[in-house]
Amino acid sequence: MLEIQRLRSDKEGVIIGLSKRNIDPTKTINDILEMDGLWRENKTQLENISAELNQLSRKIGDCFKNNNHDEALLLKNETQELKAKEAVLKAHVDELDSKITTMLYSLPNVPHVDVIQGRLPDDNQLIESQGELPTFSFTAIPHWDLAKKYQLIDFELGVKVTGAGFPFYRGKGAKLQRALIAFFLDEADKAGYEEFIAPLLVNEASGIGTGQLPDKEGQMYYAPEDELYLIPTAEVPLTNIYRDVLLPNEDFSIKLTGYTPCFRREAGSYGKDVRGLNRLHQFDKVEIVRIEHPKNSEKALNEMVSHVRNLLIKLELPFRILRLCGGDMGFASAMTFDFEVYSAAQDKWLEVSSVSRFDTYQSNRLKLRFKDADKKSKLCHTLNGSALALPRILAAMLENNQTPEGIKIPSILQPYTGFAVIN
């Protein structure tokens, strides 16, 4: 969530920034600031009364010690009225506090200055297009048919055992998954990210920490018996490692990575977009997460973009990088780059990675801070990105690399798969 101090000191800047998301937060912000003023006023009064009560109590204690019971009784009576006032003010202050927090939660992050206003995916800025789009002398087969033909993925079996969106990978399909995961993790390791194997279920506090809760609980699978949520991305457990953490100095750069399956209910999606591997309830992903000093987050974002870019180049997939417009960005993001690979048979660009900086928006909720040189606590910046999500990579790879003789495996992956062709 946004810092209240930012609203106090730069209200106009926040309003202008948020207008890039095509929303007008003026009323909300005015309401927040009005309540904030009221809150501070009442809070001061409350604290004064508490101070008075504390003093009285001390006096009463002294009286008892000096055997001055009469005066103690008099003073006791004095506290009654103050205590009543205190209770009323306390309730008022608490109510204002929670109203302010709720309203702050309702405001999305302010887009970075370089982010342009826009409404639709069409408004996103094309940053780079890389690699030749494949052409075929035959009719290209979509990946769901290729997967069937070569017995790589069994969607029907998944339906039988679990339901739609939970495929089985088998044979070379399964090996290819394992190869991709190992390849992505090795690359992240080379880039200095520490590997974690994280829990796949998280508690409510973690869901709140990274912002899935309370609003988006419909997107997560939930185990009510134990009050645990299945993770929608490794971002949740990895980032929550640093929930309620105060780093001791400003000399830090934390780089984490982890492979996990991801579980998403995807309530409300339907149609041809969900065909085959395009949208699943369970899929595999390697995530990279960074926690940085504010002055380093721009550099970190660039490094992450170039890391993902290199992965796609090594995998020989044609891709493009888009900088999302204000209207297409996630709620918590200040700037997002989407990576899309071209999938030949579907003639479609498929999103395979989303790399974002959140600035202090996430860390404010997480209470993730560091001590600066002046010994003051400041919020860290967080960033994360997929590097990469597997299913659509697999879809593009199958479709783009198909030949009448079989599907070619990119040379970088062959040491991992142990085979060069699927046939």
Partner RNA sequence: GGUGGGAUGGGUGAGUGGCUGAAACCAACAGUUUGCUAAACUGUCGUACGGGUAACUGUACCGCGAGUUCGAAUCUCGCUCCCACCGCCA
| Site residues (vs RNA, CB under 7 A) | 4-5, 40, 43-44, 46-48, 50-51, 53-58, 60-61, 64, 76, 79, 83, 246, 248, 369, 371, 375, 377
Q: How far is the CB of 255 from RNA (least distance, A)?
A: 22
**CA dist., res. 421 & res. 92, Å (int):** 70
b/e 241-255 (16+ beta carbons within 10 angstroms → b): bbbebebeeeeeebb
Helix runs in 194-285, H state only: 204-209, 235-240
Q: Shortest CA distance to 169 belongs to which of 187, 188, 143?
A: 143
Q: How far is the CB of 372 from RNA (least distance, A)?
A: 11
Q: How far is the CB of 282 from RNA (least distance, A)?
A: 21
Tokens of 365: 């909720």
- Terminal CA-CA length for the chain: 51
Tokens of 279: 């949208």
By the 10 Å C-beta count (0-12 exposed, 13-18 middle, 19+ buried), 84 is classed as exposed
Helix runs in 191-333, H state only: 204-209, 235-240, 297-314
- For RNA, which is the closer residue by CB, 1 or 153? 1
Q: How far is the CB of 9 from RNA (least distance, A)?
A: 11
Q: Name the β-bridge partners of 283.
A: 262
Q: How far is the CB of 313 from RNA (least distance, A)?
A: 40
E strand map for 73-187: 125-130, 153-154, 168-169
Q: How far is the CB of 201 from RNA (least distance, A)?
A: 12
